[in-house]
Amino acid sequence: MQNLILLFVCFLAGILLRRLNRLPEETPAVLNGFIIHISLPALTLLYFHDIDLSPGVFAMAAMPWLHFGLAAGFFLLAGKLFKLPRMTVGALILTGGLGNTSFVGLPMIEAYYGKEGLVHGIIVDQLGSFMVLSTLGIFTAGIYSNGKLSALSILRRVTAFPPFIALTAAVFLMPFDYPEWFALLLGRLGDTLAPIALVSVGYQLRLSHLSGNTRNLVLGLSFKLLIAPLLLSLLYLGLFGMQGLPVRITLFEAAMPPMITAGIIASEHHINPPLASLMVAVGIMASFFTLALWWFLLGAW
């Protein structure tokens, strides 16, 4: 519950700071840079280091990859049908294809399923969502921000992405125990992600952005909060016949609102920042209602 309150407080703080003109216009860029270069790498080094890479985790880890693939296909098709601008399609793929499986997902899992469900959420987040963001997410941002890039240019963007560097380091450090002081340091730095990210999102949110973006916002959130979780549920529960707490939590994570960092990446690459910010902010608020629905449906399936 404390984490959910933190989300609301920081989001509202960002809105108020904008309204009161207490911070410069460049504030979101500075906050986003801090997140990408410090907060996210610290969290990756801390949590990925202790994940048990057993064969049973791959079905859970596969969900965000499938989710992103569905989003790419859905929004590319929608872009052609509705003649959406190229940058709009890119923003929808990024924010509609990547879920907030950590800072909204983990508190929600604890609230609905108890602490025993958190380990499954961490697997989905670290092996799934975060790796999709660090690879396919950066790949997509590179394509939509600068047109067609060479494979070498995209590879450079991915490998130079600070969280990806931290992910690689965490894999190599798995055989070694972190000193207590180092783990505490990473934890403190990682704790800055949620409050700073929500302040940044709130600061960038303007109700005027709804003008001209209402249809795109409804399209994006309908897919992210309803259509994608439904399709993945049919796949995991219907076609594969999977059961149990791990798969329910995996699908619960599929229903999370758009990832804050995906919105930040879209903004950093100038891929329709107003729509990306709306997807994140409105998505978080709407998810408090849709997640309750999915918890009931998954329990009754």
CB 229 within 8 A of CB 40: no
| Structural domain boundaries in the chain | 27-203+212-300
- Residue 95 contacts by C-beta under 8 Å, 6 or more apart in sequence? 220, 224, 258, 259, 262, 263, 266, 275, 276, 279, 280, 283
> What is residue 6's predicted lDDT score, i.e. its pLDDT?
76
pLDDT digits (tens, 9 = 90+) for 62-97: 999 999 999 999 999 999 999 999 999 999 999 999
CB 253 within 8 A of CB 101: yes
* pTM of the model as a whole: 0.81
CA distance 119 to 127: 12
Please report which helix (H) or strand (E) contains residue 3, including its range.
helix 2-19
CA distance 4 to 13: 14
pLDDT digits (tens, 9 = 90+) for 164-223: 888 889 889 989 999 999 999 998 998 887 788 778 877 877 766 677 789 999 999 999
Q: Does domain 27-203+212-300 correspond to CATH entry 1.20.1530?
A: yes
Side chain identity, residue 28: P
CA distances from 258 to 52, 58, 91, 112 (A): 26, 22, 11, 19
What would the mean pLDDT of 112-132 be, rounded to a whole number?
83
